[in-house]
Structure 1
Amino acid sequence: MSDRTVGFFALIFAGLMAWFGHDLQAPFSYEPVGPRAFPMLIALIIALCGAWLMYKHWHEHSHGKHIDWPRLLLMMVYIFGYAMLFETLGFIFATAIVTVLIGRLFGGTWGKLAIGGVLMGVLFFLLFDRALDVVLPLGPLESLL
């Protein structure tokens, strides 16, 4: 799959995520940032990555690549699974698992991805749950924290 194609789909996905996430409001305000902060920040990160991929493609002048539909569809399945297991597994575990799975699609090694996935899950949890007061599910870790 070409970088341009992945970047294009990432920008579309980020736009949709921002569009749906922009109107999220809690019926009562118990968080200073509100429920829209998480999807909007993730949409921004996805959009920046998509824009970088498109720039990289045009900068390198690579041509003749095709869309790797199985990998693209598998990535969508992983994202859907993440959304479905988010509450049950908790933010940290679900984020670590989806990071590893998507990283494997792009050729990452198990060890580096496991470390990166756990770090991403923990650091984003601390950022959103602790620093921004966006309540995130802990799943099995709830009894420990």
Structure 2
Amino acid sequence: MVFLVWEIFLETFGKNSSIGFIGAGNVGTSLAVALHNKGYNVASVASRTFESALNFSCEIQDCNPERNIQKTVNVSEVVFVTTPDDAIVPTLKDLQFEKGQLVIHCSGVSSLDIFDRLIYPKKSTELAFIPSRHFHLLKEMLGISRILHLG
């Protein structure tokens, strides 16, 4: 599954495409730093607390921390959702995604069914899924030295 997601990403979006992160914990920060180090444009981050978003953005040059999650969605062609599973629905339920945006959720516990009622098909948004049990593959592809996965 990770390779499929990565192939979609590489075929559709280039290194200059804007990438946003919803969630500024260990997984989100590790992925964002790895993408940035590979030359990708990590443009925006929003998190439950602005302090977390600010700390995240300090790791990545030109990444803007946002207090409003919708602002991160609005400026991002690719949106990584790296929140805890129990925060997905409350976090995404009122957001507006655009057709053509790629949304990547990085947890392996929740099924894609939760996105059916949140985003797809009414907003015609592409969805991709990276189960956490496949993070080792993503680590290899991006050259990440370590990802801390809790839970």
Report TM bin, short chain: under 0.3
TM-score by length of 1: 0.27
Larger relative strand fraction: 2
TM-score of the superposed pair, with normalisation by structure 2: 0.27
